[in-house]
A and B are shown apart, each in its own frame.
Chain A
Amino acid sequence: MNHLIDPNLHIWHWQIPLYLFAGGLAAGILFFAALNTILGRKEKYPVSVKLSPFIAPVLLIIGLSALFIDLNHKLYFWRLYTTIRLQSPMSWGAWTLMIITPLSFIWCGLNIKEILPKWDWKYKVLIDLEAFLRKYELVIAWLILIYALILGVYTGILFSAFNARPLWNTSILGPLFLTSGLSTAAAVIVLMSKSQLERHYFARIDLMLIGIEIFLIIHMFMGFLASTQVHIDAANLFLGGPYTTPFWLFVVSLGLVIPAILEILELLHYKMPAWIAPVLVLFGGLMFRFIIANAGQASRWLY
């Protein structure tokens, strides 16, 4: 990042934003699965509880692989798990993933007979384990709910903890990334579900989340513009600077405003292809993370 000491000006490339997207999406999917289980809506919204969670472990493994590829000293990755460092967001993230990834596999194990009715665990120990875990399904759901929230917020806190990058150094990124993760998860459920009841329910949730996201983005800019010169410069990366077009076109227009309009029209029973809005939400969520990751590394203190 310092051209005087290092030929590379970016330390984080595609791996980190991809991981943050996958992690946020997995967190959202697991959150809705746990929430609807706790609220006793398993049968009402079956896709969100039983089907969509099967994507979560895949996403978590994609995210973890991206993180691993990002490490420069790969063979020492286990050092993350020889210590707990409360002041380091990355330490929080490593431990959260260590807990939520097995939980996501357990959740899939408990629901596998819903999608593969002929599934047989074969070994007695696995059958016993399933019976044992099923007794504690609600406890597992609560654990997933809590850890999904931590994972979702952490994807933003990872950035916001860096005082050195003014664009990232706003605690609003935590709730913003959590909301965006939940919104992309709602979009995935809308894509997967065939029941109109469930699709409309999650389209309404998504609409609400998009509203919150727009609210948080406005507040993020208000905070920057009311702060020091370097924070104003950080906001200006998006207000006339090099990231203006990608941010307002891909993230705000295509990723938030247009899908919101399409979802409202669909809820008003206009006929249109149901996949457009959720695909746009997913695209916007992915672009959002790439743009924040890149623009943050371009923002710095002046001296």
Chain B
Amino acid sequence: MRYAMAVDTKKCVGCSDCVVACQTENKVPIGFCRDWVVEVTDGTYPQLEIEIRSERCNHCDNSPCVRCCPTGASHYADGGVVLVTHDMCIGCGACIASCPYDARYPHPDGYVDKCTFCLENRVQKGLNPACVSVCPTKCMYFGDLDDPNSSVSVILKKRKFKTLIPEAGTMPQLYFLI
């Protein structure tokens, strides 16, 4: 099993519903968030192109955060999802410094927090992650890459996609449809 997510940059309007849904579902403390929206403008006027991306932890196959964690709190869970065990985390910050996507933040309770793909609270109950399920443009696809019929496998077969900073070598599992 290999959970992954695809985000359609052609459909995302940058409304930030995914951010709010995640904050609500996962009780993210005020001032922080586990996912975020990036708008990139390319080109020169009048030939401008805008790309909007809903970003979060890339749940990399080769995760620097899991490697550098001194206690084993950061680990690979079911389907390659990268999770942090709260009562094993000492809050040293090594994983925060190690993440090229800057997807982690120190939770005010002391441990380091990040996107979980809603693994335990939704996915294992047969639901989509909170961000995917609320998206008003249905621009996000979540599922198991090992299952050829999952929505994420189907869309990645049909569409061109990219990952973010593949040159950092972390083998990210967040795909952006372009």
A positions within 8 Å CB-CB of B: 1-2, 4-8, 11-12, 70-74, 76-77, 79-80, 82-83, 85, 87-91, 93-94, 161-165, 228, 296-297, 300-303
Contacts and interface: CB of A to CB of B under 8 A. Distances in A.
B69 A85 contact: yes
Given A90-B68, A164-B98, A5 B36 contact: yes
Contacts of A73: 89-91, 109-111
Nearest to A2: B102
A173 B34 CA distance: 32
A89 B98 CA distance: 12
Interface string B111-153: 1100000000000000000000000000000000000000000
A162 B68 contact: yes
B94 A72 contact: no
B97 interface: yes
A8 B87 CA distance: 23
A121 to B, nearest CB: 36
A162 to B, nearest CB: 5
A72 B95 CA distance: 13
Given A4-B33, A5-B35, A7-B31, 16 more contacts: A1-B96, A2-B101, A5-B36, A6-B106, A11-B93, A11-B96, A11-B97, A72-B106, A79-B90, A87-B68, A88-B68, A90-B70, A161-B98, A162-B97, A162-B98, A164-B98
Given A5-B32, A76-B89, A301 B68 contact: no
B97 A297 contact: yes
Contacts of B91: 71-74, 76
A79 B112 contact: no
Contacts of A91: 70-71
Contacts of A163: 64, 98, 100, 168-170
Contact of B68 (A83, A89, A302): A89
Contacts of A300: 100, 102
13 contacts: A5-B32, A5-B36, A7-B32, A11-B96, A12-B93, A70-B93, A72-B110, A73-B90, A94-B70, A161-B68, A164-B97, A164-B168, A228-B167
Contacts of B167: 228, 301
Contacts of A79: 71, 73, 88-90
A301 B92 contact: no
Max chain A C-beta neighbours (<10 A), residue from B35, B67, B90, B99:
B90
A177 B146 CA distance: 45
Max chain A C-beta neighbours (<10 A), residue from B32, B91, B103:
B91
Contacts of A165: 97
Nearest to B170: A163
A301 B100 contact: yes
B79 to A, nearest CB: 22
Nearest to A4: B36
B165 interface: yes
A301 B165 contact: yes
B71 A72 contact: no
A72 B93 contact: yes
Interface string B23-64: 000000001111111100000000000000000000000001
